[in-house]
């Protein structure tokens, strides 16, 4: 498996961005659409997400909307985007995420959140695109 390092601005896209962009009823819909559009245009550098975010995004979309088409649309968007790189969690990243989960438990981070942080550290990804405030003080947010 080839490893790479990001040296310039880069963004990791969180679940809430994908879900809000596709769900017109979401309070953050317009902003999420704008953020994704700018991300695809390269405004935030290279863009990334993960297999864990894919899982969470399609699951949350289905649970919130009860509409499989919305979940399928999100999944297909993530899988088919040529500009979005999906990072996969290996054993080392999983272990680091568990350490971060224990460290940041009081901030309300989920294990998936700490997986995202571990991947960002591993690949030197500078910002997280998210509406979730619990990332404040841990990593710079684009919101």
CATH of the domain at 48: 3.40.50.1010
Number of domains in the chain: 1
What pTM does this model have? 0.93
Domain assignment present for 23? yes
Domain assignment present for 72? yes
Distances (CA, A) of 83 to 23, 47, 99: 22, 7, 30
Each residue of 85-120: pLDDT tens digit?
999 999 999 999 999 999 999 999 999 999 999 999
CA-wise closest residue to 62 among 19, 17, 111, 110: 19
- Reported as a pLDDT band with limits 50, 70 and 90, residue 7 is low
Domain assignment present for 53? yes
Residue 89: what pLDDT? Answer: 98
Domain assignment present for 51? yes
- Reported as a pLDDT band with limits 50, 70 and 90, residue 6 is very low
Q: Which domain holds residue 22?
A: 10-88+126-142
The whole-number average pLDDT for the span 57-81 is 98
In the predicted model, is pLDDT for residue 141 greater than 60?
yes
Domain assignment present for 40? yes
Element (H, E) at 87: strand 84-87
- Reported as a pLDDT band with limits 50, 70 and 90, residue 1 is very low
């Amino acid at each position: 498996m080839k490893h790479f390092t990001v040296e310039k601005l880069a963004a990791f896209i969180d679940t809430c961005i994908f879900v809000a962009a596709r769900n017109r009823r979401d309070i953050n819909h317009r902003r999420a659409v704008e953020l994704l559009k700018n991300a695809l245009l390269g405004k935030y550098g290279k863009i990334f997400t993960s297999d864990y975010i894919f899982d969470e995004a399609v699951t949350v979309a289905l649970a919130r909307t009860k509409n499989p088409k919305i979940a399928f649309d999100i999944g297909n968007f993530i899988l088919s985007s040529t500009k979005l790189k999906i990072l996969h969690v290996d054993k080392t990243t999983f272990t680091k995420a568990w350490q971060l989960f224990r460290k940041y438990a009081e901030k309300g981070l989920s294990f998936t959140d700490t997986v995202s942080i571990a991947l960002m550290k591993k690949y030197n990804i500078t910002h997280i695109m998210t509406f979730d405030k619990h990332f404040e003080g841990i990593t710079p947010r684009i919101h």
